[in-house]
Structure 1
Amino acid sequence: MTMLCKVLRVLVGLLMVSLVCVVALGIFYRYALQDSLYWATEVPNFLMIWIVMLGSVVAFHERGHIAFTLLGQSLGGRRQALLECVCAVVVLVLLGVLVFSGAIVVEDTMHSLSEALRIPKGYIYASLPICAALMMVSAFGQLYACARRLWS
């Protein structure tokens, strides 16, 4: 998963560079050329969605999201490992729901085209089930790690 996180970091960086370039190009066309690019607002929106979702996968894997650890740290030992296992299972269930419901949304929106680019909106909404599935891989790893601590 760490190799995947490195790839995702590079991809997010490239998407951010693309976002800056598209926005700068839109500004240049608007103010310097007194014209507008018909897609200059849609592309940044789509890029931002993918940047946030892919970045959240990296943050999830690296445990970069906000967490309340006071209770777990106060328990210590096996009880802390048990609490972490329970939390990992809850997270896996929620991510499974996101994958399932996200796939339904993607399927339902594949025939709905975006305004400017005329691409299926399902490609944009696909970020949810794809990133939730990637988070599930990491969550299974976290569950395995805390289960090993629980039984060792």
Structure 2
Amino acid sequence: MRFVNRTLRVVIGLLIATLVASVAMGVFYRYLLRQSLHWATEVPNVLLIWIVFLGSVVAFYEKRHIVFDAFVEALPATLSRLLRILSELLVLVFFVVLIVYGYQIVMQAMNSLSDALKLPRGYFYICLPLSAGLMALCSLENLFRLIITKSPGSAP
């Protein structure tokens, strides 16, 4: 997953650069050339959605999401470990639900064309099941680590 994370960081950087360029072009055309680019609103919106969803994968992998673990930290090691495993299983189930329903949304949106680019909207929404799938892989990796890691007080 480390390679995927590094690749996503590069892709997100390129998407941000593209977002800045597309917004700048839209402003340039509208205010300096007094013309409108038909895609100047749609493209930045789609780019922003993709940046957010792919960025959530990076944040999940790097454990940068908000976590309140004071309660879990205060528990005995064995109970804390079991609670972390249960938590990771619940997160994994949530990601699987996102994959399933995200896929359904993408398939339904394939029949609808975007206003400006005339592309199937499903291409814009595929970031939902894709990011959920990548986070599910991260969650599986976390779960595997939790299961194989011995508790501090256990015998080798």
TM-score, normalised via structure 1 length:
0.97
Tell me the residue number matched to 1:58. Answer: 58
Summarize the alignment of residues 110-125 of structure 1 with structure 2, pairs less than 5 Å apart. Answer: 110-125=110-125
Query: Structure 2 vs 1, CA of residues 85 and 150 (structure 1 numbering), >3 Å: closer, same or farther?
Result: farther
Percent same amino acid at aligned positions? 45
Matched residue pairs, number? 152
Is 1:85 paired with 2:85?
A: yes
Q: How does 1:1-150 map to 2 (within 5 A)?
A: 1-149=1-149
Measured after TM superposition, the shift of residue 77 of structure 1 is 1.5
Give runs of ≥4 in structure 1 deviating > 2 Å: 149-152
Unaligned runs of 5+ in 1: none
Q: Does structure 2 retain, via aligned residues, the 8 Å contact 1:82–1:150?
A: no
Q: Deviation string for 1:15-68 (max 9, x for gaps)?
A: 000000000000000111011101000000000000000000000011100011
Give the deviation of 1:112 after TM superposition: 0.3
Three-state SS of the structure 1 residue aligned to 2:35 is: coil
The CA RMSD over aligned residues, in Å, is 1.1
